[in-house]
Structure 1
Amino acid sequence: MNRRALSLTLLLSATLGTALAAEPRTTFNVVNTAPFSGKNYNPFTPAANHLPPTLSAIYESLFYVNALDGKVNPVLGTKYTWSKDNRTLTVTTRSGVKWSDGQPFSAADVAFTFNYLKANPGLDLTGIWKNGVKSVTAQGANTVVIAFDKVNVPAFYYIAHLPIVAEHNWKDVKDPLTFTNDTPIGTGPFVAETYSTQAVRVLRNTSYWMPGKPAVDAVAWFATNGNDASLLKMLKGETDYGYIAVPDPNKDYKNKGANFTYWWPVNNLNALYLNTTKAPFDDAAFRRALAMAINTKEVADKAYAGVVPPADPTGIIPGQQKVWKPGTAATLAPRLNVAAADAALTAAGYRKNAQGQRLGKDGKPLPAFKILVGSGWTDFITMAQVIGEQLKPLGISTSIDQQVFASYAGSFQTATFDTGVSWGWGSGPTPYNLYYQSFSPEFSAPVGKTASSNLSHFTDPALTKAIDSFSATSDPAQQKALMSTMVTTVMKNQPWIPLTARTSFNVYNTAKFTGFPDAQNPYNEGSPSDQVGARLMFLNVKPR
């Protein structure tokens, strides 16, 4: 064992209170770009609240749908079939699976999980029960029947990714919203070991149902305070994988050595969200004028050194544009023109005073608007800096509001922010998933209440109708027409300003392990280590 590996082992032993003699032979080390918010393995809580092994290593879903290519990978479900009228989904569950406490897994656990969300709506973060599911029942040990009272074929994506829990472990939990699930019982490839504020480790599940998997004995996560600290750990060889937005991944990482590489597939977007519940961001004319003044190419180039392109104004990722991007989008896209943006603001009632300050409709100078970003997230911080400079000619001042992830997400969800940079909170094999989770009323909430994912808190009757109608048809022509309505409504109202493509930010050190996902073998979509797709990485990486 080399000196660096030994020092990391000693650190892990100290932080987790594990004897050195009990160290696993092979540990895959992951760097986490944020501190751990507390010991919580509850898979139904938002990502900001639970520990990263929860969805990727401990619990499993029925299937994993790779949004890059739409491929459906069986997990606890082995196959699924829709009825001819698309109102019944029948899933066959896997035989021979055991929970980590030794008890057998069955279809009853799946039915329990879905019905548990129905009984506790606060857990239903993707709105499964609000969007057509009528009943979920187990028929025998290996069959689950999901009945719908309205057609909703896209719901499969959310059904497929729901983490399945053990009935015998959860049936007596009285308050699942606050339950931290300190000793999780899952079917996944790893089991929880010990937690500290600095490091979390999971150990290989010796009874895992997949023969020969996983190939490593443990996975450990190390907390840092941001991208820079995380990158340093990768460069020192202390960690093997990180999800890190490196400002210039070629210069700052790949060119540092033969073992340093990255894979950044485009699977979403980064946007400037505008809080439509407060003035002046409640005015579509004001929002559209801001979009005309923001040079998204400059934002992308400076945030990612030209490696990541600007976002398409529709938010649709490149792999889906040929099928889903409507022709009307080109005429609705904001044209970069600062002078025209300045004039548009004045025409909308936001004139300037003699000092060049932009005034509200009440004649008073607008305050400096905060741009919310995650603490230490260098890419988002750079975006906010560039946007702030670009808005100055309009007489608009900004400041950067860095918050740790839990409060960052909370500010968005409770509508207590002005503007903020975040990703599209919804991805899938079609743009429906993005528009549904980003703009459906069911994911919004009044100010002060928690919205799951409608961060701009924007709703529109025509948009809502199109979202609902899309889910009710499997006719491709109808779906394209409805997608056109979604796209044009959002572009006209500009509740967000698409900034850059959102790639995955996989950064690898291949000195000790092989089997990472990449462009030649994209077995996941570049999922971060706290999402269901990362389970495939933990199953596929193996020691050299």
Structure 2
Amino acid sequence: MSLHARWRRARAAAIGAVSLGLIATGCGGSSGGSSTDPDTLIAYTGQAGDWQRNYNPYSPDAIGGKGTIYETLFFFNVARQDEPASRLGTEYSWNDDGTELTIDLREGVTWSDGEAFDAEDVAFTFNLVRDTASFNSFGFDGDTEIVSPTQVKVTFEEAAYMDVPQLLGKTWIVPEHIWSGIEDPETDIMEEPVGTGAFVMHEFKPQAYTFASNPEYWDGEPELKKVRFVSLSGNQAAADALSAGEIDFFTGPVPDMENFEKNHDGYKIITTPMNQMALVTCANTDLGCEGPQTDPAVRHAIFHAMDRDTLNSLAFQDTASEISPGYTLPERDAAYASAQLENRTASMTADVAQAEEILEAAGYTRGSDGIYAKDDVKLEMSLRVTAGWTDYITAVNTMAEQLNEAGIKVNVNQASFNETTDARNSGNFELAIDSLYPGASPDPYYVYYQFFHSSSTVEVGESTNPGWARYSNPEVDEALEALTQMDPDAGQDARQPYYDTIQAQIEEDMPYIPIMTGGTTSQFNAAKFSGWPTDVNMYAFPAVWSHPDQSEIFRNLKPAGE
């Protein structure tokens, strides 16, 4: 089956703060332009504090390079149903039973150090991912054979149709001649990255690093000559920098979104429903999770006690939208939403009585302070949020007040990005706010596999990303494995029973408590650069921190007037 026949998280941040003056140096603020160099785009991804130099694309601490420096074989657009675009690969096809995947590779590509790219690099990367558990988020177990310098064949024991977008669209190809000499690729920080992408490493400073266009890029040198990634102290500093014309691209909340374009000459704003916001719970007691949130009754009570309309208004300027407990996007994935869900979408208003009924049926009683308890243990939990993320901070503080009315006490704990992420990945938390980010293509299967399949489940104390809840359900695993082996061209009727099973189970277990579908809002300098995604031409998900979408946008931008 040919390529044309088959297919028609997250923000990075860290501790500390810097002033706008540090960022403005050499890139003076003025309306309609953020830099004295009209070919340089200034981007802010959410980083607060010094960058830690690491361009290993498989490291959880990587600060950049995925897509821009390290390419994939194809680009899959998660924002709409596009055919995959060729990058280092040109075509791919399956055999009749979905157990052999043949991939043709692009000729004439060189690594940024001048070495030739070929099938050995692809085979090495695939084997590296297969054999390194922390790299293998989708359970890839294929054997890769080099057929020729421009072709590889991947053989699976069973049909593996659904591996394609992740293997071909989210696997960053690395140079075998360098990486084969790395003693520990999981921990190597990779200060000087070598890739095939449209950009190369140019300059690093703790508060800003710069990529430059690759003059030897196989698709021609980009018209955007430099991208500078800067550090600020948080969302408010980003809003101030946008107002001063000191940054060109930001994805996050700003004041008065409705009037942003009127108040920022030359800038545009776009909101895309994509990331599904949730209260992440450490849910699995068998793997060492502790706390009241390990009780499904508590998780369901929290679900019903949220007043989402209020959260949307106060924290998200009404840019968020409904969410399904089955984690299908209500708009994009409407065809996959199960009719068997108890709640097709989460209520936008609170049902405190329902929350109380659930807790009392589970043996909780209200204390004199109004907070429920069970077996002399008060229903009190810590909720982690990243410092500087003003929308999430407002949301959780508001949520804490709402849950208190239902007899649930939540203590908000702000910390640096690194501290929050480390706690979440290691399971040393009770609640945390984050988003279930989209998968490799516009199919809910990938969200399910990333966040709900037990392959990413480990004991508390061991690091996992993204299996933060440490969720394990044999029925979900079985349904996902069946979907993995099923040709998507088999049709909706054949696939839907498995989606029904998955959604029913995750609604019942609720290891991730649904909040709302986040309206991912980006602001960009359209007066300085043309070629940005629009509602009419959503050629990539327009988020500065999303990979490889970020690189697709940079490839398309042109300085104004060109």
Structure 2, gaps ≥5 residues long? 1-19, 29-35, 284-288
Partner of 1:68: 79
The answer on whether the counterparts of 2:281 and 2:469 sit within 8 Å (CA) in structure 1 is yes
Deviations 1:154-197 (A, max 9, x none): 11111112000111111111111111111111011111022111
Deviations 1:336-382 (A, max 9, x none): 420221132122111012232211x2123333x22211211111111
The answer on whether the counterparts of 2:338 and 2:344 sit within 8 Å (CA) in structure 1 is no
Describe the SS at the equivalent of 1:163: coil
Equivalent runs, 1:153-302 vs 2, <5 Å: 153-160=161-168, 161-211=170-220, 213-246=221-254, 248-251=256-259, 253-276=260-283, 277-302=289-314
Note closer, same or farther for the CA distance 1:454–1:75 as it changes in structure 2 (3 Å cut). Answer: same
Q: Provide the rounded CA distance (Å) in 2 between the counterparts of 1:151 and 1:531.
A: 27
Partner of 1:460: 473
Q: Provide the rounded CA distance (Å) in 2 between the counterparts of 1:179 and 1:305.
A: 41
How many residues get paired? 520
Partner of 1:415: 427
The answer on whether the counterparts of 2:323 and 2:345 sit within 8 Å (CA) in structure 1 is no
Q: Provide the rounded CA distance (Å) in 1 between the counterparts of 2:430 and 2:24.
A: 44
The one-letter amino acid paired with 1:66 is: N
The answer on whether the counterparts of 1:77 and 1:91 sit within 8 Å (CA) in structure 2 is yes
Deviations 1:305-344 (A, max 9, x none): 1122132332211343331001112557665420221132
The answer on whether the counterparts of 1:34 and 1:404 sit within 8 Å (CA) in structure 2 is no
Partner of 2:31: none
The answer on whether the counterparts of 2:223 and 2:559 sit within 8 Å (CA) in structure 1 is yes
Q: Provide the rounded CA distance (Å) in 1 between the counterparts of 2:497 and 2:117.
A: 43
Note closer, same or farther for the CA distance 1:136–1:319 as it changes in structure 2 (3 Å cut). Answer: farther
Equivalent runs, 1:36-75 vs 2, <5 Å: 36-46=50-60, 49-52=61-64, 54-71=65-82, 72-75=84-87
Describe the SS at the equivalent of 2:212: strand
Give the drift of 1:406.
Answer: 2.1
The one-letter amino acid paired with 2:442 is: P
Among all aligned residue pairs of Structure 1 and Structure 2, give the percentage whose two residues are the same amino acid.
Answer: 26
| 2:535 is the counterpart of 1:519 | yes
Q: Provide the rounded CA distance (Å) in 2 between the counterparts of 1:529 and 1:102.
A: 29
Describe the SS at the equivalent of 2:328: coil
Give the drift of 1:88.
Answer: 1.0
The one-letter amino acid paired with 1:218 is: K
| 2:552 is the counterpart of 1:501 | no
Note closer, same or farther for the CA distance 1:89–1:247 as it changes in structure 2 (3 Å cut). Answer: farther
| 2:368 is the counterpart of 1:349 | no
Partner of 1:402: 414
Which of 57, 82, 95 is equivalent to 2:107? 95
Structure 1, gaps ≥5 residues long? 14-22
Deviates more, 1:508-517 or 1:526-535: 526-535
Equivalent runs, 1:5-16 vs 2, <5 Å: 10-11=25-26
Q: Provide the rounded CA distance (Å) in 1 between the counterparts of 2:37 and 2:351.
A: 59
Describe the SS at the equivalent of 1:246: coil
Describe the SS at the equivalent of 1:281: helix
Q: Provide the rounded CA distance (Å) in 1 between the counterparts of 2:63 and 2:344.
A: 41
Deviations 1:453-487 (A, max 9, x none): 12222211211211122112123323210001000
| 2:110 is the counterpart of 1:114 | no
Deviations 1:47-101 (A, max 9, x none): xx1122x113211110111112232111111111111111111111111111111
Q: Provide the rounded CA distance (Å) in 2 between the counterparts of 1:107 and 1:303.
A: 48
Q: Provide the rounded CA distance (Å) in 1 between the counterparts of 2:268 and 2:38.
A: 25
Note closer, same or farther for the CA distance 1:7–1:542 as it changes in structure 2 (3 Å cut). Answer: farther
| 2:485 is the counterpart of 1:472 | yes
The answer on whether the counterparts of 1:370 and 1:417 sit within 8 Å (CA) in structure 2 is yes
Give the drift of 1:425.
Answer: 4.1
Describe the SS at the equivalent of 1:136: strand
| 2:116 is the counterpart of 1:104 | yes
Q: Provide the rounded CA distance (Å) in 2 between the counterparts of 1:433 and 1:410.
A: 23
Note closer, same or farther for the CA distance 1:453–1:6 as it changes in structure 2 (3 Å cut). Answer: closer
Give the drift of 1:422.
Answer: 0.5
Give the drift of 1:257.
Answer: 2.7
Deviates more, 1:295-304 or 1:220-229: 295-304
Deviates more, 1:322-331 or 1:89-98: 322-331
| 2:545 is the counterpart of 1:538 | no
| 2:437 is the counterpart of 1:445 | no
The answer on whether the counterparts of 1:151 and 1:473 sit within 8 Å (CA) in structure 2 is yes
Which of 322, 328, 352 is equivalent to 1:338? 352
Give the drift of 1:426.
Answer: 4.4
Describe the SS at the equivalent of 1:28: strand
The answer on whether the counterparts of 1:12 and 1:199 sit within 8 Å (CA) in structure 2 is no
The answer on whether the counterparts of 1:293 and 1:338 sit within 8 Å (CA) in structure 2 is yes
The one-letter amino acid paired with 1:356 is: G
The one-letter amino acid paired with 1:196 is: K
Deviates more, 1:110-119 or 1:82-91: 110-119
Give the drift of 1:117.
Answer: 2.3
Give the drift of 1:511.
Answer: 2.4
Q: Provide the rounded CA distance (Å) in 2 between the counterparts of 1:343 and 1:118.
A: 47
